[in-house]
Chain A
Amino acid sequence: METLDLHCQLMLEEYREVLPVLESMKTEVLAQLDKVLGDSGLVVTAIEARVKTEQSLAGKLALKGSKYATLSDVTDLVGARIITYYTYDVDRIASMAEKIFEIDWANSVDKRRLHQLDSFGYNSLHYICRLPGYDYRFELQLRTTLQHAWAAINHDTGYKSGIEIPREYMRRMNRLAGMLEMADDEFSRIRTELTDYRRRVQTLVKSGKLDDVLLDGDTFNSYLQAGRLNTLNKRIAAINQAEIMNTPLTGYLSILKALNCHTLGDVDRLIKRYEDDAYLLARHQLGNTDLDIISSAIGLQNICIVCILSTGGGKIGLERLFDALNEQNQQNAVLAELTYNQASALPFMQNFKS
């Protein structure tokens, strides 16, 4: 490394003295970003921060030391970076940063807006910020995962190394930047459309237009969130004053489809048709036990059992149900037999008794 002039050497000396302050600022910046993101519920790919190394600072001063009157003019002594999933998250986090940090607008730059209509390349939002109580500013970089991938690879392959990059290479990198920009936009569009779809489904579920909603993982979740099974579960819990443990019901999706449920309307009719018998089955099974903990799956499980038995599925049908709920196991046949025998005492089975 070339020798630094006296001015730069003094700045480097100051850097060494204030290094603990910079470390403290880094920790505080990270803590504030963590908190604001945690409070917002926004999930990001990564939050990272670093204090510029002495070697990196010396390199910077060697290149453009005369640009800085004092060390505090170097705005990236502390750098923080948030990498998001979606482009619009960059703007959301920028807005949060504006509320918790003082932004030096004159030195902040939105690289995304610097490109000409026909140019592509580095995309990132850089805010120069100030944290109350600190003399030094820090740089906050906000970018998407794809923008980060491009920047990291571009950096790795020579940018800033001082080596002149061949035009053809630059053209290919910029071509990739354009492609990734399109991919970022498409990811954001998919996310937005999915969110709209979920809202539409929730509206249809709330308004009871369930026949208009095809049964899939998303729509089934919306249906469950509307609490359509809560009444039955609470009735069953009341048998033994049991606690209800929330458990995932995603495993029932394929079972419901096998029971010819193609829309949420089909699921709703299935529940309405069989919920009383499902309750009676639970009462028959739990009533003479002291089991005071049940799964939130119990209502739907019993509805499936009653549906299978009421439609003539018999022991084989129950065995297939238990195979689907758990892995295939020889004991499932025993379980099917036991459940069938218990259900045989109930009114809905009177037509199927052998």
Chain B
Amino acid sequence: MKTTITTTENQVIAKFTGRLDTAAAVTVAEEVKPLFEVIGKEIILDCSELEYISSSGLRIFLSIRKEAAAHSSKVIVRSINADIRQVFVMTGFISLFEIQ
């Protein structure tokens, strides 16, 4: 599992590659901490190369969203595959995130 964070003028993009399962979540939770400091920008969670997400991964996404809301930032989940989109539906979080 690999997390890459890049920053542009108006956006911070976190790209997730691989399987965000329980084992990987501990490391990813640390790696996404810079996103908690983002103020007033769009935070893009680029999932184009994310293969799988577990409950622990969902919790990371939820914590990013919570911190972003507190810092007037907006979170967009981008390019999730059908399986992960289905996870968002099964858990009821499809209406919480802006998913593109």
Interface residues of A (CB under 8 A from B): 242, 245, 247-248, 251-252, 282, 285-286, 289-299, 301-302, 322, 325-327, 329, 331, 334-335, 338-339
Contacts and interface: CB of A to CB of B under 8 A. Distances in A.
A286 B98 contact: no
Contact of B58 (A251, A293, A329): A293
Nearest to A293: B55
Interface string B84-98: 011101111111111
A233 to B, nearest CB: 9
A133 to B, nearest CB: 37
B99 interface: yes
Given A247-B93, A327-B99, 13 more contacts: A251-B95, A282-B90, A289-B90, A290-B55, A291-B90, A293-B62, A293-B91, A295-B93, A295-B95, A325-B95, A326-B95, A327-B98, A339-B86
Nearest to A291: B55
B24 to A, nearest CB: 15
15 contacts: A289-B90, A291-B87, A291-B90, A291-B91, A292-B55, A293-B58, A293-B62, A295-B93, A297-B93, A299-B92, A322-B89, A325-B94, A327-B100, A331-B85, A334-B82
Contacts of A338: 82, 86
Interface of B: 54-55, 58-59, 62, 80, 82, 85-87, 89-100
Contacts of B97: 326
Closest 7 pairs (CB-CB, A-B): A298-B92, A295-B92, A325-B95, A297-B92, A285-B90, A293-B55, A295-B93
Interface of B is mostly: helix
Contacts of A335: 82, 85-86, 89
A294 B91 contact: yes
Contacts of B96: 247-248, 295, 297
A322 B97 CA distance: 12
Contact of A290 (B54, B82, B93, B95): B54
A247 B82 CA distance: 23
Contacts of A302: 92
Contacts of B55: 242, 290-293
B87 A294 contact: no
A245 B90 CA distance: 14
A296 B100 contact: no
Contacts of B85: 331, 334-335
B92 A329 contact: no
Contacts of B54: 290-291
B62 A326 contact: no
A331 B86 CA distance: 10
Contact of A286 (B90, B94, B100): B90
Contacts of A291: 54-55, 58, 87, 90-91
Contacts of A252: 95
